Amino acid sequence: MKKYGNKIVVLMLVVFMISMMFMGCNSNKVDPREKEVIEFMKKYDYDGAIAKAKELYTGEELEEMLDWINKDIERTKLVQQKIEEYEASKNPSSKLEIQEYTHKIKDNYIYITGRVKNVSDDDISYFEVVCKYLDKNGQVLDSDYTNSGLVLKPGEMREFEIMHKYREEYSEYEVLIGDVR
């Protein structure tokens, strides 16, 4: 998840900047009151932005500002939803996370070892960790998995190991979560 953190921040900033550009297109001069509201929105403090708008505006201007803030809230939610869908597609389990893993080659075998963590609020009664062995072009040459049928409580971690016959063609490997129940 960490590797997506920077992408999320950049995407959120892009959405914010686009919304700022549209707001700026409505007039050549920026109302100083808008700047105060925008400062809250830059921090995604929408409650603060609404409170500041109510403090600074009345009547039709207030309704227009609240409408603009609410549209930005909806855009932000949509972007967040798309990010979550993308992350979910990369990791089919929102219950189990791979915390770390390494590999070593010994006696013509490759050993993938690591640790998974139950990040849900529910017990996990079964899970699989899958390893795909790739060539230099990223094509899957083979795969293997390990599993556990021992109960993994919320917040608990368990180590895993996948031992597989090593081939010189393996350039890379990919470790991911398989079935989780």
Q: What is the mean pLDDT of residues 123-133?
A: 94
Instruction: Give residue 88's pLDDT band: very low, low, confident or very high (50, 70, 90).
Output: low
Highest mean pLDDT out of 43-47, 85-89, 104-108, 176-180: 104-108
Cα separation of 55 and 57, whole Å?
6
Q: What is the pLDDT of residue 176?
A: 92
- Give the domains, in start order, of the chain with CATH numbers: 2-90 (no CATH), 96-180 (2.60.40.3230)
pLDDT digits (tens, 9 = 90+) for 28-87: 577 899 999 999 988 889 999 999 999 999 999 999 999 999 999 998 888 888 877 666
Rounded to two decimals, the pTM is: 0.51
Cα separation of 5 and 88, whole Å?
14
Q: Are strands 172-180 and 140-148 parallel, antiparallel or unpaired?
A: unpaired
Instruction: Give residue 1's pLDDT band: very low, low, confident or very high (50, 70, 90).
Output: very low
Cα separation of 55 and 72, whole Å?
19
